[in-house]
Structure 1
């Protein structure tokens, strides 16, 4: 948790005020799970590899629908990647060695994503089994929190409580008495994200690079979260101003 505080002394004749930054963090289970299904084919002929990967993914999708996956759960569009693996051999005679190209193999991957309700645990597990039985790969692509109202309200409440505790400590340290709360300001909507599961020395995630309004985006002291996969982190940051008196 990152906290900072500043004091704003009132002008002549005005009561001094204290403004603090409070942060509230809540961990809640995701209510949406995204599963990626990938079909991979390797062949020297790119056309053949492309055709077979599409057929393999179509076959897997049909099997998943038969197993109970809603056709509307498949997200629009497919991902497709093509890579070439070049092979070569080193040939030597009595005096020299040369590298001779043996050929190239094309690797084609096609992917589709399925959106599940997190409560459909049995269906998610079954989709993994079906995909693998069809020769495809299946994996968790990510999580989301759609119904976020309760979590946001809790994070905001914690942020205000945190601000009040910090304000009380600062006022006491300065020999002042903490008075009434004058203003609460939230600079931006609460941040909702998947916690990081490994230590990041820069304290950054790719999504944080585009949200410079949050101190956590550039906090070099952030450590790894202990949250289990499938949890979402909701962070509220508020600026709270209090009246203080001698």
Structure 2
């Protein structure tokens, strides 16, 4: 994809009728840094098994409320508990086949209804003791706990570093392109940032090309069609901060 960008840039430079004094070169740049997450989010859920959905919903809600209060008693900050809660209802029905001498008959067993209520709580990643204790408290209340995702609360430093790398990448590419066109790179005229830096973590549901579904429909940047250079963080708890810029330079013959 970068080769395509270089080719297009050279075509622009070599276009007939261009004035050398007014010629400019516009080049995209990308910068990424890998940083550790400073917050993580844990999903706590309480599941009730039964036939009555209404009663099951009440029991699941009460069970989750007890779990939340026990977590707060154990040191969780109430403000870190998500205001939104999710509820799901599923029905599980199994079948078996009974055989006699000549044929088989499918027998449907009684269906089981599961009602699950769920809430997310934020933790500082450095508070290992509280995180471990919260998992234990949830288990004692009959609830389940699982890490949902990681996040970055302090973004100023990583964003600045990613932007710096993006500008440096654009300048390196611009020098190569200008040289390939037999020209000299001049002063930087403009830096355009189409969007603010984004924080990315490796998804458990990447396809064989290691692309997220959103990337499949985002054709705005060279890395979209170059999935093997995405450089996703290799382990849980590490995040990628990615910046993209478009830099315009003056070029001279």
When the two structures are superposed, what TM-score results if normalisation uses the length of structure 1?
A: 0.85
Post-superposition shift, 1:111?
A: 0.9
Match of 2:112 among 96, 105, 128: 105
Alignment RMSD (CA, Å)? 2.7
1:37/1:138 contact within 8 Å kept: yes
Partner of 1:85: 92
What residue number does 2:65 align with? 58
- Where 1:83 maps in the other structure, the secondary structure is strand
Q: Which residue of 2 aligns with 1:150?
A: 157
1:185-204 map, 5 Å: 185-196=192-203, 200-204=207-211
- Residue 113 of structure 1 and its aligned partner are, at CA, apart by 0.6
- Contact 1:30/1:231 (<8 A) preserved: yes
8 Å contact from structure 1 (residues 60, 134) kept in 2: yes
CA distance in 2, matches of 1:146, 1:73: 13
Please point out which of 113, 127, 130 is paired with 2:134. Answer: 127
1:161 maps to 2:135: no
1:230 corresponds in structure 2 to 237
> Equivalents in 2 of 1:21, 1:67: separation in Å?
50
- Secondary structure in structure 2 of the residue aligned to 1:40: strand
**Per-residue CA shift, 1:69-122, capped at 9, x if unaligned?**
112211113211111111233233343332222211112211111022333332
SS of residue in 2 equivalent to 1:200: coil
Aligned partners of 1:38 and 1:112 also within 8 Å: yes
What residue in structure 2 maps to residue 38 of structure 1?
45
1:196–1:224 contact (8 Å) kept in structure 2 = no
Which consecutive residues of structure 1, in runs of 5 or more, have no partner in the other structure?
none
TM-score (norm 2): 0.83
Q: Secondary structure of 2:94's match?
A: strand
**1:11 matched to which residue of 2?**
18
CA contact (8 A) 2:201 2:233 kept: no
* CA distance 1:167–1:224, shift in 2 (3 Å): closer
Q: Tell me the equivalent position of 2:102.
A: 95
Q: Tell me, what secondary structure is at the counterpart of 1:75?
A: strand
**Which residues of structure 2 form unaligned runs of 5+?**
none
